[in-house]
């Protein structure tokens, strides 16, 4: 019996798409085609691969008027925000621009006696398992550099955003990337694990939950397959005495609430120095109270539903538990009558919180943020590090030396100063602790998507 994938719209519970999952036999055949096609693909000149990938990226941009409402239907982001093509194009373009340098051989010696160098060689077939929250941008982080580096790619997209992989395949194939070099595959969890265990891939890149990351590592155990993981986050912001208060509030609250809080590097907890705490909270409450929760197809909506009723339920539970334990909610529910107890979830700011509460420790991934008062840098650093996760941290000060000194003490993959919730393609996108391992984008992203190969050539 054929198993199917169903995408249920958070807007109204309707079925957006239903697709059959590949059987193990079909999936194995798809990987075999990719393995064969990769040999020809990697032999093409680098410039040709770059052009084809960027042509494919441009073709995705041409689909934007269709893609934006599709995203709203699949995962609930309001159409007023215009989709993801800006970031999608920025990341792919940067990786295209640095490809020649990042993939260039490292020459050790080229003398009359020896030629010695280290080249970068494609892994072969790369499996990309992408999430639903920023489905185009998270996918292109790996898809573009993997293809440019000479790999074939099998994309397994999240069940909440199945149309994304289809759109990318449509665009890439239309510009001449061979159908077997880039494949969009609908795979079940068991089939995915079995393929990894069978050494089907040279590298696996997964973005998702901690549990999903563990399943990937367990499937790859003993195969020596490289695995890159970006998992959970509980990213903090720290506002110091000399911060630009208005900018800090605007940026951190947007980082906590945009996309209904469903951002990998969204702000989930904020620490504010005592002297600025009351003013920060007052300004934050004013901003959030002005949001409009509603149907994402309405251009006036600023906050859409969460992608799934289950995700909204987890956030409601965290907020309820925190209030029972003594937290104070600052947002009036009367302002958000559209909160239906399902996928539509009102935003919330909590004060009087502490780290005994799940809302300050577990990943929320929704429109809620706890704000705590701190005495000094030492207390803020201890609280920021009191987490199982480590993706980004956002520091607010005009003192770069102070930010760097604090950054050296924070257990995180990226340190921001006066910025938050942004992915810089020029820097390695990485994390520590339960956020995962490996790194994407930047030159390091290319190094993870290739393997070093040494040449020691003696001239006679």
- Are the folds of 4-231+435-458 and 235-425 the same? no
Q: What CATH class does 4-231+435-458 carry?
A: alpha beta
Backbone torsions φ then ψ of 276, nearest 5 degrees: -110, -5
With bands split at pLDDT 50, 70 and 90, how would you rate the model's confidence at 355? very high
Residue 1 has pLDDT above 70, yes or no: no
Contact 163, 87 (CB under 8 A): no
> What single-letter DSSP state applies at residue 456?
E
Residue located via tokens 């020896």: 114
Q: What per-residue string of b and e applies to 426-449 under the rule 16 or more CB within 10 Å gives b? A: eebbbbebbbbbbbbbbbbbbbbb
Helix, coil or strand: residue 156: strand
Angle, CA of 128, 431 and 54, to the nearest 5°? 40
Residue 426 has pLDDT above 90, yes or no: yes
What is the β-pairing status of strands 392-396 and 414-417? parallel
For the packed helices 46-62 and 135-148, what is the interaxial angle rounded to 10 degrees?
160
- Would you identify the CATH topology of the domain 235-425? Aldehyde Dehydrogenase; Chain A, domain 2 (3.40.309)
Alpha helices in 22-134 (DSSP H): 24-43, 46-62, 64-75, 85-102
pLDDT, tens digit (0-9, with 9 covering 90-100), for 88-136: 999 999 999 999 999 999 999 999 999 999 999 999 999 999 999 999 9
Residue 79 has pLDDT above 70, yes or no: yes
pLDDT, tens digit (0-9, with 9 covering 90-100), for 217-237: 999 999 999 999 999 999 999
- Quick count: other Cβ atoms within 10 Å of Cβ 90? 15
| Conformation bin of residue 124: beta by default, left when phi > 0, alpha when psi is -120 to 50 | left
- Sequence spans of domains, the chain: 4-231+435-458, 235-425
Question: Residue 451 corresponds to which tokens in the numbers above?
Answer: 């393997």
> What single-letter DSSP state applies at residue 22?
P
Contact 201, 228 (CB under 8 A): no
């Amino acid at each position: 019996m054929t198993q199917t994938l169903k995408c249920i719209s958070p807007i109204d519970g309707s079925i957006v798409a239903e697709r059959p999952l590949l059987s193990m036999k079909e999936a194995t055949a798809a990987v075999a085609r990719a393995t064969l096609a990769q040999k020809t693909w990697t032999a093409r000149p680098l410039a040709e691969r770059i052009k084809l990938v960027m042509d494919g990226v441009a073709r995705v941009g041409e689909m934007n008027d269709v893609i934006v409402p599709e995203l709203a239907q699949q995962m609930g982001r309001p159409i007023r925000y215009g989709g993801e093509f800006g970031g999608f194009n920025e990341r792919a373009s940067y990786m295209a621009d640095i490809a020649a340098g990042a993939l260039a051989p490292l020459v050790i010696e080229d003398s009359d006696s020896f030629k010695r160098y280290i080249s970068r060689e494609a892994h072969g077939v790369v499996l990309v398992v992408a999430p639903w929250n920023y489905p185009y941008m998270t996918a292109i982080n790996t898809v573009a550099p993997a293809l440019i580096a000479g790999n074939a790619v099998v994309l397994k997209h999240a069940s909440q955003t199945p149309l994304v992989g289809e759109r990318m395949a449509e665009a890439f194939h239309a510009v001449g990337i061979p159908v077997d070099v880039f494949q969009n595959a609908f795979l079940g969890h068991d089939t995915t694990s079995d393929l990894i265990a069978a050494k089907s891939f040279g590298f696996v890149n997964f973005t998702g939950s901690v549990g999903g990351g563990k399943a990937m590592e367990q499937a790859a155990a003993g195969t020596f397959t490289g695995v890159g993981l970006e998992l959970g986050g509980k990213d903090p912001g720290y506002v110091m005495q000399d911060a630009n208060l208005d900018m800090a509030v605007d940026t951190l609250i947007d980082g906590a609430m945009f996309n209904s809080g469903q951002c990998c590097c969204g702000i989930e907890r904020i620490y504010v120095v005592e002297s600025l705490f009351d003013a920060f909270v007052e300004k934050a409450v004013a901003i959030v109270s002005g949001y409009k929760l509603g149907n994402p197809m309405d251009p006036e909506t600023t906050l859409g539903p969460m992608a799934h009723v289950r995700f909204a339920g987890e956030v409601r539970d965290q907020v309820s538990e925190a209030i029972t334990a003594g937290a104070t909610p600052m947002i009036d529910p009367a302002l958000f009558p559209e909160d239906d107890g399902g996928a539509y979830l009102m935003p919330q700011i909590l004060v009087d919180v502490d780290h005994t509460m799940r809302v300050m420790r577990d990943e929320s991934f929704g429109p809620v943020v706890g704000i705590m008062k701190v005495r000094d840098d030492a207390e803020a650093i201890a609280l920021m590090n009191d987490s199982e996760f480590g993706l980004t941290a956002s520091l607010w000060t005009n003192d770069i030396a102070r930010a760097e000194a604090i950054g050296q003490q924070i257990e995180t993959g990226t340190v921001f100063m006066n910025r938050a919730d942004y992915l810089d393609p020029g820097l390695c996108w990485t994390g520590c602790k339960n956020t995962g391992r490996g790194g994407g984008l930047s030159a390091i992203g290319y190094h993870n998507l290739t393997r070093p190969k040494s040449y020691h050539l003696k001239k006679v």
